[in-house]
Amino acid sequence: MREIALVYLDISGGLQKFVHDCKKYNDSKQSYAVYRFIMSINPSDIAELDATLGNYILHKPIQAAQIFQSVCFVAIKTLSLIEQLQTEAQISVLLKPTHLPPLPSYVLSLSAFPFNYTSQRFYMSEGIAIAMGTVTKYTQGARFLCTEETCPFSEGRFRYIRVHLPGATESATVRNDFVCILCFSPLQEDMKFRVLGDKQIVEMIDAKVLNALKGYSSDKSHFMIQTFTVFLR
């Protein structure tokens, strides 16, 4: 699947964009713990090249991103695109599908039962934004070092990298109870390598509420309108 991912990036123009993004990182004077790459992908085109990879992207996007992560790491090392990069864990790939199959199972409807939205895959959702919070910062990636000075992981290496994953809370990326797997000493964040991004919280409501507001009659004697929260990162 790694070979198919590389072929798709090549024919879709994604590889050229990736090389351009790498050049910006390499030319920057800033030190990064995590190098983030956003890749637009067409699930239909990938499914034609390889059905297994196409299904991975649609139903297991986090695992699929790891495949592209591996491809990016090999490309960077082979072509010497980012001199500062040390480990594959420093690469964060965000897959952005151009579309999803026009099937009911890919539509997130909070008014339909049963919900059964336990899988971490892509869904389409349509609604009305009724409130929006201010844009704030969140940690996309961070580097940690062992606090024991005699430990090999106390300096220099990018051994402990935390990267924010979709659906994770802030504490999954940054908190103070991580320990070294080598000596079990506490880990401390190296603040100069923290990578920040923008996030915004949006309160939304199902588009079907418009029918109720317009006074349309319904056979249901009782109904409830529930808002849901969306995190934009």
Query: Do residues 27 and 79 touch, judged by C-beta distance below 8 A?
Result: no
- pLDDT for the residue numbered 165: 85
104 pLDDT tier (thresholds 50, 70, 90):
confident
Q: Cα(34)–Cα(47) distance, rounded to whole angstroms? A: 29
CATH topology of domain 1-103: mini-chromosome maintenance (MCM) complex, chain A, domain 1 (3.30.1640)
- pLDDT for the residue numbered 37: 95
Query: Do residues 154 and 200 touch, judged by C-beta distance below 8 A?
Result: no
- pLDDT for the residue numbered 200: 96
- pLDDT for the residue numbered 119: 74
What average pLDDT score do residues 181-208 get? 91
Query: Do residues 59 and 4 touch, judged by C-beta distance below 8 A?
Result: no
Q: Cα(163)–Cα(36) distance, rounded to whole angstroms? A: 10
Using DSSP's 3-state secondary structure scheme, residue 53 falls into helix
Tokens of 88: 């594959």
Q: Cα(69)–Cα(55) distance, rounded to whole angstroms? A: 17
What average pLDDT score do residues 160-170 get? 87
Span 11-32, pLDDT tens digits: 999 999 999 999 999 998 887 8
Q: Which candidate, 82, 87, 88, places its Cα nearest to that of 68? A: 88
- Going from N- to C-terminal start, the domains of the chain cover 1-103, 136-196
